[in-house]
Amino acid sequence: MNFSQIPGQKETIDRLIRSVKEQRVSHAQLLSGPEGCGSLALALAYARYVSCENRSETDSCGICKSCVKYEKMIHPDLHFVFPVIKNKKETEPVSDSYIEEWREFVKRSPYFTLNSWLDSIEVGNAQGLIFASEAGEIIKKLNLKSFESDFKIMIIWLPEKMHLSTANKLLKLIEEPPEKTLFLLVSEEPDKVIPTIISRCQLIKIPGFSIRDIRDYLIRKYNCSDEKAQEIARVANGSIIRAAELFENEDSSLQNLEKFKKLMRFAWKRDIISVISWSEEIAGTGREAQKNFISYTLRILRENLMLSLGQLKNDLVFLAGEEAAFSKNFHPFINQENIYQLADEFNIAYSHVEANGNAKIIFLDLALKVTKLIR
């Protein structure tokens, strides 16, 4: 991944390049931005630029030995940490257990969600975490001398998924790392990263992509019309992942929409038998899929509230396709009288799922409360 392959984020890229030119590369940096802002792509391009043997003023060369190995993600001084799952063979797995799958997945596209990554390794009902055993691996790797580059680089994707004991074990290393060591933490929810980690990192805030950048990306990638790309880019609201989902009509979004429609239909009818069946159905999916559904629902509720408040004319509604068609008739049921309570209930359910609560109880309780609030 080169900087030139990232569609936009010029200010952030200029800042990263300038830090290398001025030899002011901070040993620990937290790249923080919303899902779909390209933060992982930026971390990959930055790591490659730092290690490039013949970098230019604006990008890595792409042809030196270092760049060739970075392209394949096999450089011996580049290390990755990312959420993984427990399996029958390993009760305390580490990222290296899934490194081949990770390389292949990231090489296909650096723009993806946690849910899509975990789906690719078939998580089932498990949650993706960075387990305590990872800390020992990180310490061992970074205490070795670098093999080929000046810097040893550790990219930690989603440090908010780090087990508390892992984070605590890394505090000393992040504060005083071995010479020529670079931590790049890539976070979508920095408020969930423990404060002692954040205080030891240089924070780089990454905004969402501009409408123009997403439009140009869609035209290049999918060879679509300017009009269609413009509409999708507006609805994507800065997320290149959301834009790709809208264009490709990704199954997971349609499935979440169908689950949402069923819940609201049963809740409005006060069809308790169907509500119970719905809660059992969603309880049978994996925990990551459950959290993904709740996050999706919170977004749909927000968009429908904006419709109820008449914000469509102000371009503050980000819906398209089947979501827009459904919300055209549904939005009057979401208003200032119930939105706060609805949002609270879904957020509470999310935290309970994350805490490994009983999914059947969580979603039945949620559905019954929605039944009360939707009227």
Residues 164 and 238 in one domain: no
- Domain housing 109: 3-205
Kindly state whether residues 158 and 42 are assigned to the same domain. yes
Do residues 111 and 165 both lie within one domain? yes
Domain co-membership, 138 together with 191: yes
Q: CATH number for the domain including 308?
A: 1.20.272
DSSP states of 112-149 as a string?
Answer: --HHHHHHHTT-TT---BB-THHHHHHHHHHTSPPSSS
Both 118 and 265 in one domain: the answer is: no
In sequence order, which residues have a C-beta less than 8 Å from that of residue 43 and are 6 or more positions away? Answer: 31, 155, 157, 184, 186
145 and 178 together in one domain:
yes
Instruction: Please name the amino acid found at residue 293.
Output: F
Residue 191 sits in the same domain as residue 228? no
112 and 226 part of one domain = no
Q: Cα–Cα distances in Å, from 281 out to 115, 277, 355, 366?
A: 19, 6, 20, 14
Domain with residue 83: its CATH number is 3.40.50.300
Say whether both 77 and 107 belong to one domain.
Answer: yes
Burial (CB count within 10 angstroms: exposed 0-12, middle 13-18, buried 19+), residue 91: exposed
Residuewise pLDDT in 10s, the chain (375 residues): 999 999 999 999 999 999 999 999 999 999 999 999 999 999 999 999 999 999 999 999 999 999 999 999 999 999 999 999 887 666 778 999 999 999 999 999 999 999 899 989 877 677 889 999 999 999 999 988 888 888 999 999 999 999 999 999 999 999 999 989 999 999 999 999 999 999 999 999 999 999 999 999 999 999 989 998 998 999 899 999 999 988 876 567 888 999 999 999 999 999 999 999 999 999 998 888 899 899 999 999 999 999 999 998 878 888 888 899 999 999 999 999 999 999 999 999 999 998 999 999 999 999 999 999 998
In sequence order, what are the residues at sequence separation of 6 or more whose Cβ sits closer than 8 angstroms to the Cβ of residue 140?
Answer: none
Do residues 220 and 149 both lie within one domain?
no
Instruction: Assess contact for 100 and 108: CB atoms under 8 A.
Output: no
| Domain end (from 227, 248, 269) | 248
* 66/76 Cα distance (integer angstroms): 10
Distances (CA, A) of 140 to 48, 50, 144, 145, 179: 22, 22, 7, 11, 14
CA distance 116 to 241: 11
Q: Into how many domains does the chain fold?
A: 3
200 plus 213 within the same structural domain: no
Are residues 82 and 215 located together in one domain of the fold? no
